[in-house]
Structure 1
Amino acid sequence: MRLGEIVVDVTPLRSSRDFRLVFATQAISMLGTHLTSVAASLQIYHLTGSSVQVGLMNLVLGLSLLVGLVAGGVLADRVDRRRAVLVTRAVTALVIAGLAVNAALPDPRVWFVYVAAVLAGGISGLGGPAMMAATPTLVAPGQLAAAGALTTLTAQLGGMVGPSLAGVIAAGPGVALCFAIDAAVYVVGLALLAPLPALPPDGPVEAQHPLKAMGEGLRFLRGNQVVAGLLLIDLCAVVFAMPYALFPELGTEHFGGGPSTVGLLYTAPAVGSFFGALTSGWTGRVHHTGRALIGAVAVWGAAIACFGLSPNLWLALVFLALAGLGDTASEILRRALLQHYTPDRLQGRVGSLWLAQATAGPSVGNVEAGLVARALGSSSGAVALGGLVCLAGVAALATAMPGLRRATLRGPAGGGPGDGGPADGGPAGGRSVEGGSADGGPVEGGSAGGGPAVAGPPLDGESTEGSVSRGEFTEGFVPRGKPAEGSSPGRRLAVDGSGTPGDRARGPAVGGTGAPGDRGRTDSAGSRRPGSGGAGRAAAAGSERSASADPVD
């Protein structure tokens, strides 16, 4: 394999101006997010002298973020996603500016920090799913993995640079400057995102009750083996093999060190994650994406188990770095598969569930690790056991969900019953359907009792890598021929070469193309390290382990 096929793939940056704007916004936003997260925690501790207050503030932030994400998923599937992102970011900028003013007062108010945490978490959560749902419309289908890797890279850089920079600024000019810089970053982000085209969801928008709309997303998840498997396999990893809550005890008791040793334990996974993002070029070229994902999560579980069994610090750090590398690979693949197998009209709701899991999952895992360590009387034993349970869970899911094993980013997201293809007008890529969706469920225009999906012949001119998916288009590739039967009215295939990136394909195909083709902190998105502000992985970066949608930005 050539070096160019290993290092991070920057094709989305070269081919899509709109993605370049989003990437630049996310890169600077991650820096600002960590400035505010660290500054808020430092300010609360300085004003109250209580670590409990710091924890409560971050709990409030995390809960409001979780509520915002769930509501934001419904919003992202109803309104123009560009507008949702711009409005929520503008309001959040005002909240952060308020924190800067409060910090500059002679007697800052603690209650205002709590109120700001509620507002910032909730409003940012509203915009997070919209940002994540917009990504597949900004890049070609074959570039989803590369786009996810670039988003993860911004999360890793922000996670490594942001907290240290916040500490330096807080120790010098003060926390007010941290808040002010973050507010300014939001304004710059608004200027960068303003040129984006309108990004409405595909297809007609139904006037559903929000709870009914979210129920539709849950039903899709339950009936789509690939997407359900993506969430379950990550839940298995973060609930059973999340060791961060045990790092202080392991660093001081098991390895006989002090604060510096504990710091190394927290840093090692981030280093591995950053290296994994830099060497992620293979993720967009692998044929058996589902199998690669299963392998990456297995690497995480095995590395965590070996970390728990490590007799010395340096060997433990190697295994933690390996765990971070596997985590980043799994995040990139999960994000790409989630966006590939989810219909555009459900991207917001499904993405919000993914980001919500990225927010809550690690917290549950850390509590579980603490309880198991207390029950066993050994923190290292609890970590090793958690890694082994994770491996068992991955093996069980891989066996029980053949659709997850067969999942691929190569070609249309179609398949047999249970494999998941889009269920709103036929499988992705304009493949024809006979009475049912790719996952065996009904589709628009087909009867609920119809036959299984049928993968039709390739369109004349259809490519094998980066082929047309979900009605989106690869840049420089125009399929020749008519739209496939069974395509929904909201998705079309171009029949001439007039389309440009950023244009949105709407209505039946008569000419022209649409826009070319994760995971906060999608989140969820980034690494499995805890966020500086404690709002879960989704608060750390727009990836799931740093959620790409960046819910707290």
Structure 2
Amino acid sequence: MVPAGTILPESATKPAYRDGNVLRWLTAYTASLVGDSVYFVALGWSAQKAGGPTEVGLVMAAGALPRALLMLGGGVLADRLDPRRVLLGSDALRCLLILSVAAGIALTSPALWTLVAVALVFGAVDALFVPAIGALPPRITSPDQLARVTGMRSLSVRLSQIAGPPIGGLAMGLGGTAAAFTVAGLLFALSLPLLLTIRMRPLDTRGEERSEPGTAWKDLVDGLRYIRRHRLIGPLVTAGAVCELGLTGTLNVGMVLLNAERGWGPSGYGWIVSGFGAGAAAGAMLLTVAGRLPHAGLMMAGTLFVGCVGAATIALVPALWIAVVLAVVIGLSAGVFGSLDNALIQTAADPAYLGRVTSVVMLTMVGLAPLSYPLVGAAIGAWGAAPVFVGCGTFAGLGVVIALASGAVRRAELPLQRPSATA
């Protein structure tokens, strides 16, 4: 019996989907993600009871500010400390915070300022959790299994997005917002013992030269310099950021306005979003099952191109069913692109920098990409959905140009899989 937290030597390994160590991490991550979804349902309804639509928007947006401001610092902390310890600490804090909120709501109706404070604290703790979870996979599995773990992680995200809101709604229906907050807190609590049992692999420094650890600011600058100078990671991070800036606003805000403009209504919106989610889950499942796709860099650029074309043309199609089919294609392309992009970054990065690398990647998603929401809404209000979707899809296509302009990306391959262990 190997004690929890033991450092394991490199050896032939089972496929990730049969590795108990990886499955414990994935179960903990999934429980935490579902807890996130339930928390946001509970927070939104609590805000709705405490105020009007403006107040709901204020509360829901409050958590994004500290998450964006502190994300890079969270990456530094994950690299300076053991990311598993950071995960345990941040998950424990989230558990205590949300269970305390549940107890408070059970006793009295929360004031609006209380909900804003909860959202701010939760967002700050999330800024620690996200980089740490991104830095952990190379320490729990071998390099040849990282692509498969990335696919499993993406699939977990999609499934939690499907399961979380109904669980939150059911909890609210049975016991109100206090019950929903309690369920979220218990899901965070469930992940803690699983994280405690994870066994760690030795840190592979790969012989890369790096500066001596210094102040937190020096480590942050060192991490940004590392990304900028890396022949593969730099273009991958840049291409992903351009893709997020171009597509996130249209797929989130723009899709609502497109459905209103075409008269497809909430039902049509639901079909399109479901189609995108199903396609994205299928893309993640592909990498989970295959474990490795040949010509990964070129395939990543190709699927990004397909996704950009689909996003640019979905506002031009005349019928809802065609838009749903396009949404499935966009989701499938996004699922493969995102999984390959993440897997290539994970396998190429020096593990000592993975927290900072992950924090930069996530900053583009939770910090920069949402800035496009009001711009997309205003542009569609002025010019209609079609030209805005075409323009945003074309802008996102610059990510394809950035990727293909890099010889390192064009030649990028995922590691060959080693023979699996029989025991």
CA contact (8 A) 1:96 1:180 kept: yes
CA contact (8 A) 1:80 1:198 kept: no
Unpaired stretches in structure 1, ≥5 consecutive residues? 1-9, 411-464, 468-473, 478-499, 501-553
Q: After alignment, is 345-354 or 228-237 more displaced? A: 228-237
Matching residue of 2:399: 394
The CA distance in 1 between the partners of 2:295 and 2:289, in whole Å, is 11
Q: CA shift at 1:92, angstroms?
A: 1.2
The CA distance in 1 between the partners of 2:200 and 2:144, in whole Å, is 22
Matching residue of 1:285: 292
Indicate the percent of aligned positions where both proteins have the same amino acid: 25
Matched, 1:249 2:254: no
Q: CA shift at 1:201, angstroms?
A: 5.7
Within the candidate set 392, 400, 413, 1:408 is matched to: 413
Specify whether residues 78 and 34 from structure 1 end up closer, same or farther in structure 2 by C-alpha distance, changes over 3 A only.
Answer: same
Matching residue of 2:6: none
The CA distance in 2 between the partners of 1:358 and 1:142, in whole Å, is 27
The CA distance in 1 between the partners of 2:91 and 2:189, in whole Å, is 8
Instruction: State TM-score, norm by structure 1.
Output: 0.69
Matching residue of 1:370: 377
The CA distance in 1 between the partners of 2:200 and 2:147, in whole Å, is 23
Matching residue of 1:57: 59
The CA distance in 2 between the partners of 1:197 and 1:279, in whole Å, is 27
Amino acid at match of 1:292: M
CA contact (8 A) 1:78 1:205 kept: no
Matching residue of 2:244: 238
CA contact (8 A) 2:258 2:385 kept: yes
CA contact (8 A) 2:47 2:56 kept: yes
CA contact (8 A) 2:152 2:288 kept: no
Matches within 5 A, 1:216-227: 216-227=222-233
Q: CA shift at 1:198, angstroms?
A: 5.7
Specify whether residues 123 and 398 from structure 1 end up closer, same or farther in structure 2 by C-alpha distance, changes over 3 A only.
Answer: closer
Q: CA shift at 1:315, angstroms?
A: 0.6
Q: Cα deviations across residues 365-399 of structure 1 (Å, max 9, x unaligned)?
A: 33342243244x111221123223323x1342144
Matching residue of 1:268: 275
Within the candidate set 360, 367, 370, 1:360 is matched to: 367
Amino acid at match of 1:183: G
Matching residue of 2:16: 12
Specify whether residues 250 and 165 from structure 1 end up closer, same or farther in structure 2 by C-alpha distance, changes over 3 A only.
Answer: same
Within the candidate set 120, 128, 132, 2:134 is matched to: 132
Q: Cα deviations across residues 251-297 of structure 1 (Å, max 9, x unaligned)?
A: 1222x133322333333211221222233357632221110110111
Amino acid at match of 2:46: Q
Matched, 1:42 2:45: yes
Q: CA shift at 1:205, angstroms?
A: 9.3
CA contact (8 A) 1:102 1:108 kept: yes
CA contact (8 A) 2:304 2:400 kept: no
Q: CA shift at 1:188, angstroms?
A: 1.5
The CA distance in 1 between the partners of 2:198 and 2:327, in whole Å, is 39
Matching residue of 1:165: 167
CA contact (8 A) 1:68 1:124 kept: no
Matching residue of 1:258: 265
The CA distance in 2 between the partners of 1:365 and 1:302, in whole Å, is 19
Amino acid at match of 1:404: V
Answer 1 or 2: higher relative contact order, Cα 8 Å, separation at least 6.
2
Q: Cα deviations across residues 346-380 of structure 1 (Å, max 9, x unaligned)?
A: 111111111111212431333342243244x1112
Q: Cα deviations across residues 417-461 of structure 1 (Å, max 9, x unaligned)?
A: xxxxxxxxxxxxxxxxxxxxxxxxxxxxxxxxxxxxxxxxxxxxx
CA contact (8 A) 1:230 1:404 kept: yes
Matching residue of 2:24: 21
Q: CA shift at 1:84, angstroms?
A: 1.3
The CA distance in 2 between the partners of 1:151 and 1:51, in whole Å, is 34
Matching residue of 2:196: 194
Matches within 5 A, 1:47-196: 47-48=50-51, 50-196=52-198
The CA distance in 2 between the partners of 1:19 and 1:29, in whole Å, is 15
The CA distance in 2 between the partners of 1:199 and 1:359, in whole Å, is 30
Matching residue of 2:417: 466
The CA distance in 2 between the partners of 1:311 and 1:396, in whole Å, is 30
CA contact (8 A) 1:32 1:182 kept: yes
Q: CA shift at 1:222, angstroms?
A: 1.0
CA contact (8 A) 1:283 1:329 kept: no
The CA distance in 1 between the partners of 2:221 and 2:54, in whole Å, is 36
The CA distance in 1 between the partners of 2:298 and 2:101, in whole Å, is 46
Q: Cα deviations across residues 462-489 of structure 1 (Å, max 9, x unaligned)?
A: xxx236xxxxxx8659xxxxxxxxxxxx
Specify whether residues 398 and 135 from structure 1 end up closer, same or farther in structure 2 by C-alpha distance, changes over 3 A only.
Answer: closer
Instruction: State TM-score, norm by structure 2.
Output: 0.89
Q: CA shift at 1:193, angstroms?
A: 1.1
Point out the structure with max Rg over C-alpha: 1
Specify whether residues 399 and 34 from structure 1 end up closer, same or farther in structure 2 by C-alpha distance, changes over 3 A only.
Answer: closer
The CA distance in 2 between the partners of 1:309 and 1:92, in whole Å, is 44
Aligned length: 404
